[in-house]
Structure 1
Amino acid sequence: MNLQHLPNLSALRAFEAAARLESFSQAASELFVTHGAVSHQIRGLETALQTPLFARLGKRVVLTEAGRRYATQIRAALHAIAAATEDLRGGRAQRLVVSVLPSFAARWLMPRIGRFIERHPDLDIEIRASSELVDFARSDVDVGLRHGRPMPTPGLHVETLIRDVYFPACSPSFKGGRRPATPAEMLSFGLLQSCGDEPWRLWFDAAGLHDAPEPVHGPRYLDSSHLLDAALRGQGIALVRSSLAADDLRAGRLLRLFDVDASSGALTRAVCPVALRETARVRAFFDWLTEEVRASDAAQPTPVGLSARASTERSSPSDDR
């Protein structure tokens, strides 16, 4: 490999931005140059490569197949250059930025993150709780913790942390401690509803209640953490996600009903740019996550109710909630 034949870095940056945004004008705005400068740099790059990277459709530009492959590789290379530069500068190497969904942050990450901080006092960790998907190319986020069905992630390193299941749970004091003896009897109790990815239909099918309708009355919660709070306060029975409910179950604040699991096929995954995976800060965080997940799996509480187990696969209505 002859490094003397590398394209101009400015042209590569212009190409990466135009490929990501599929717009020369937006790329020019992001790079603080003119539309003409971006167009000139990309035409020069195409001439040097002897390959068209974009198809011009009037005022629109669309990546060719060759351009799409090249963009993925160039984006990873630019991330690697940025990571190496930041590590050398020092300060950025000591800061770890993690993007996480609010529900997972509140119920799983924050009760545990103190152990990571104690182990790595040299790292300044910043937790950003948000439902928005991270654009790693345009932010300083190192790692994203996401929940949902797997999706294509070009240019990103992905590791599955948790395969969640869903089951009903309530406060031990709900209904004065009286619990339903069967799933069918549970239908007459107060069922809390979710606006997210915890539809009761998912669990009804797993429990053999194929004719049971989805609840239509009662409070509804968009955030999974708020749904759990309602169950903890004795407001009803909630269909909970195993990872979010684990600590409350172990502490006895929440009681699982029946040994019947349902799965939406959704996963909790750790995601980062490929170039960042082996940096010291990100490697330390991934290693710690793996340890914490194993510790959580080893301490699952025993459910009460039916002894028969069941599971079902169903498409989740949303990804990365």
Structure 2
Amino acid sequence: MSDSPPLNALRAFEAALRLNSISLAAEELNVTPGAVGQQVRKLEDWLETKLFHRTVRQIRPTAEGLEYGARIQGALRQIDDASRTLRRRHQKSVRVVMPPSFAAKWFSSRMSRFLIANPDTDLHVGSSSEVNDFNRDAMDLAVRHFDGVADTLETVLIYKARAAAFCAPSYREARGLESPADLARATLLNDTLHAWWDDWLTAYAGFGADECRRIRRIEIDQTPLAIEAAIHGQGVLLANPLLAEEDVAQGKLVHLFPRAVLPVPGGYYLVYPRWRALRDQARVFRDWLLEEARDIDKRE
């Protein structure tokens, strides 16, 4: 028997432990459940230790399995990261993941500028509201909407979170919206991911809780859908000005009360791991994106 544990068996065990399932581990590793079970038993034989309690439909780690898993998971992540970094070091590509609203309403119109300036770079853009794991997912950078606090990541602010009122020009005229208090006769489009209407109405219309509750609302759980609803005259939207600027420039939306912009927690941040050096093309994309963000501040 070899003096080193079988690597495939280590991977099978780690996946089964992390996912608490042989079948899910098999799906992740693209093998059959039987193959995962065989690899785990192979590792148990090598260790001469039982790693899981098994029943007909589930597995449960033993105390030794939990302890062993905790010690090897970091090492396996290091192996994966070192391998991906070496493989991708000379690739002229950038992989970035960003929230769907940021990708659709701000980044998409600027993407061509990066590609024109860097014609040899392959740009891969993923759109997800999930918090991606740099240890697991193949990406160089990510844009996240959060408070900017992350011990293992470099975080660079792109745009602070703000809440401002927008609607279609025809809706403003039809409802006669001249001041924040006029919103009492409007329909509020409430983006449930960024629900700041009560705070905004209290700050700028002077409404109390009862007055806020009496205003008709439509609850929408996707920011791009809420923006489209406002464009089509369904009501007044409270949104980050960053996401509405292009529709305002095209005359699809109007910024109702430019002085009534509420600072709210969080913001859009560019993030990447502190423990991994950025590849050359990723650094180029980072610098370009932050320059685009500085251009926003200049206009404001």
TM-score bracket, shorter-length normalisation: 0.7 to 0.9
2:40 corresponds to: 38
C-alpha deviation, 1:217, in angstroms: 3.5
C-alpha deviation, 1:142, in angstroms: 3.7
Q: TM-score, structure 2 length as denominator?
A: 0.73
2:182 corresponds to 1:185: yes
In 2, Cα distance between equivalents of 1:210 and 1:224: 26
Contact 2:193–2:221, Cα closer than 8 Å, also in 1: yes
Question: Does the C-alpha gap of structure 1 residues 7 and 78 become closer, same or farther in structure 2, counting only changes over 3 Å?
Answer: farther
Counterpart AA for 2:82: A
2:225 corresponds to 1:226: yes
Counterpart AA for 1:145: V
C-alpha deviation, 1:298, in angstroms: 1.6
**Greater helix fraction, Structure 1 or Structure 2:** 2
1:71 corresponds to: 73
1:60-119 per-position Cα deviation (integer Å, ceiling 9, x unaligned): 2388588547634641442122220233xx5xx233333333221111101111111112
C-alpha deviation, 1:223, in angstroms: 2.4
Counterpart AA for 2:186: F
Map of 1:35-114 to 2, 5 A cutoff?
Answer: 35-38=37-40, 40-41=42-43, 59-61=59-61, 68=70, 71-72=73-74, 74-87=76-89, 93-114=91-112
SS at match of 2:145: strand
Q: In percent, how many aligned pairs have the same letter?
A: 29
Counterpart AA for 2:95: V
Q: TM-score, structure 1 length as denominator?
A: 0.69
Give the number of equivalent residue pairs.
285
Counterpart AA for 2:240: R
In 1, Cα distance between equivalents of 2:71 and 2:208: 46
Runs (5+) with no aligned partner, structure 2: none
In 2, Cα distance between equivalents of 1:75 and 1:110: 33
Q: Root-mean-square deviation (CA), in Å?
A: 3.9
Counterpart AA for 1:106: A
SS at match of 1:79: helix
SS at match of 2:265: coil
Question: Does the C-alpha gap of structure 1 residues 126 and 296 become closer, same or farther in structure 2, counting only changes over 3 Å?
Answer: same
1:243-268 per-position Cα deviation (integer Å, ceiling 9, x unaligned): 21233445664224152333442332
Counterpart AA for 1:203: W
In 2, Cα distance between equivalents of 1:299 and 1:96: 28
Map of 1:181-220 to 2, 5 A cutoff?
Answer: 181-207=178-204, 208-211=206-209, 212-214=211-213, 217=216, 219-220=218-219
Question: Does the C-alpha gap of structure 1 residues 181 and 125 become closer, same or farther in structure 2, counting only changes over 3 Å?
Answer: same
In 1, Cα distance between equivalents of 2:261 and 2:44: 53
SS at match of 2:185: coil
Contact 1:79–1:273, Cα closer than 8 Å, also in 2: no
2:291 corresponds to: 291
In 1, Cα distance between equivalents of 2:38 and 2:185: 68
Contact 1:24–1:38, Cα closer than 8 Å, also in 2: no
Q: Which shifted more, 196-205 or 54-63?
A: 54-63
1:118 corresponds to: 116
Contact 2:12–2:25, Cα closer than 8 Å, also in 1: yes
1:267 corresponds to: 267
Contact 1:77–1:275, Cα closer than 8 Å, also in 2: no
C-alpha deviation, 1:278, in angstroms: 1.0
Map of 1:142-153 to 2, 5 A cutoff?
Answer: 142-148=140-146
SS at match of 2:293: helix
Runs (5+) with no aligned partner, structure 1: 48-53, 301-321
Question: Does the C-alpha gap of structure 1 residues 16 and 64 become closer, same or farther in structure 2, counting only changes over 3 Å?
Answer: closer
Contact 1:95–1:123, Cα closer than 8 Å, also in 2: yes
